[in-house]
A and B are shown apart, each in its own frame.
Chain A
Amino acid sequence: MGALEIINFYLVPGLVVGSIYALGAVGITLVFAILRYAHLAHGDLATLGAFLGLGLVTALGISPYLALPAVMVLTAVVAVGIDRVFYDYLRERPKIVTVMASLGIALMVRAIVQVVWGVDSQTYTRGIVRPENWFGIRVRDRELITILAMIALVVALQLFLQRSKWGKAMRAMSDNPDLALLSGVDNGKVVTITWVIVGGLCAAAGLFLGLNFELKAMMGWSMLLPMFAAAILGGVGRVEGAVIGGLIVGVAEEMSTLFLPTEYKAATAFAILLLMLLVRPTGLLRGKVL
């Protein structure tokens, strides 16, 4: 097999799915850095975002790309609402209680999606899209947009975290919560901003997953393991690490089908997760939380 085939059939799809994992993993890493628990409803929040997008696309007849900003806002509102009603209530309890509660939220969100949109697979647009040919490398528009949108969102997030007052407050809260409080940072506001960002990123991950594949109620849940693998691979608490981790897991999953039956694709993320926890549990870029 030539280099072009490997690029076209394995590397490009791997980078696309990796970008989607990256969007999810960044959110997981943010929740871990600031709220200090594993958020198991992350995948199903992405599913909700994807289906909210479907709702807008069918109701208004707009393209999924135009729906993206609105879907990010809607999902952010839902995420903040979930935090206010459920997680906030458990803040003073051991973190494992919140982790279990997030599993319940995952089931609840998925059930709502199934009730509203049904259990069948759906798509944003019908018909087959032919890939564009760039010097022998074939990429579909939607694939290019997925990768570019991931980069744009992560760059925007990094600028927010590095430059803005509240972005710095988030980093301070992640770095040393007690000292952040002693500096007068309002913990509740940081938590709200975190959920706005995490909800938006979840929605983007879900929408791009639906765009490149299909929409179904289990789509987000089945993405949870690779997203966590990516966050741990990159170093929990590291935004750049989550992106690198997402891309590695995505490409590794696609590449694994060169040697293994495709049914084992999902096991690749699990293997990477296990290997990483054994060899370098702090992640590629030394995680700051664990």
Chain B
Amino acid sequence: MKPLLQMTDLHGGYGDANILHGVNLEVAPAEIVVIVGPNGAGKSTAMKAIFGLLKIRGGSVIVGGVDITGWEPNRIVEAGVCYVPQVDNVFREMTVHENLEMGAFLRSGDLSAAYDRVYGLFPDLKERRKALAGNLSGGQRQMVAMGRALMLEPKILLLDEPTAGLSPKYMEQIFQISRDVRDTGVAILLVEQHAKQALAFADRGYVLASGCNRHEGTGADLLADRDVADMFLGG
């Protein structure tokens, strides 16, 4: 299948030094792809590169046949890519519902179908729609962050460590919701610290190390790979 998102030989970093030294990634429509790897491997950086949040010095990012390398974030959003940062990913002083409204900022017209869809995926949020996002628990806040990103009905959702700091119960819930989102036709690319659990639930995975591709394959294959297990997953 033709990839929805294609990152080819990407080089880049924040200051003068490069963190990524030629990363290649592909995500097909309605596929869940996970990036794992040791600390400092450039996992989150690779994701930020898609969103133009660092200096790109080589390579390209193509979404749906359009080269979006180096675009402004608001144009990338319009191209159908939504990004959920790891921290500070909600408007704390705004209600849950207002957070979703901000997600739909670029859309006009009747949004009731979009609200129904998001509240359908996250029934907890519907109950707390008038609560300030800053007063929610970490897991619920992560749901607000994902819901906000889904309001734009993106083609692909980028999640930066969505389960960081969450209890196993919430982690399972976030994974389950990610599957539900995928089943509505949205591709998901996520970065995960919990490599074992993430590889078990994803369709495919990439293992990055020192800013380069190290391994790639289906989640099951990577989990079975002795090399991967020894190097990154702690046996």
Contacts and interface: CB of A to CB of B under 8 A. Distances in A.
Interface of A: 165, 168-169, 171-172, 174-176, 178-186, 288
B116 interface: no
B106 A184 contact: yes
Contacts of A176: 88, 90-92
A171 B74 contact: no
A169 B73 CA distance: 16
A163 to B, nearest CB: 11
Contact of B102 (A174, A178, A180, A186): A180
A168 B74 contact: no
A173 to B, nearest CB: 10
Contacts, number: 59
Contact of A182 (B73, B93, B101): B73
Interface string B148-159: 100010000000
A182 B98 contact: no
Contacts of B92: 175-176
Interface residues of B, number: 23
- Identify whether the interface residues of A are mostly helix, strand, loop, or mixed: helix
A184 B78 contact: yes
A185 B105 contact: yes
B90 A168 contact: no
B91 A175 contact: yes
Interface string B191-224: 0000000000000000000000000000000000
Contacts of B98: 168, 171
B88 A171 contact: no
A183 B94 contact: no
A171 B92 CA distance: 10
30 contacts: A168-B98, A169-B102, A171-B91, A171-B94, A174-B93, A175-B93, A176-B88, A176-B91, A176-B92, A178-B85, A178-B88, A179-B85, A179-B90, A179-B91, A179-B102, A180-B91, A180-B102, A181-B73, A182-B51, A182-B83, A183-B105, A184-B73, A184-B74, A184-B77, A184-B78, A184-B105, A184-B106, A185-B102, A185-B105, A288-B93
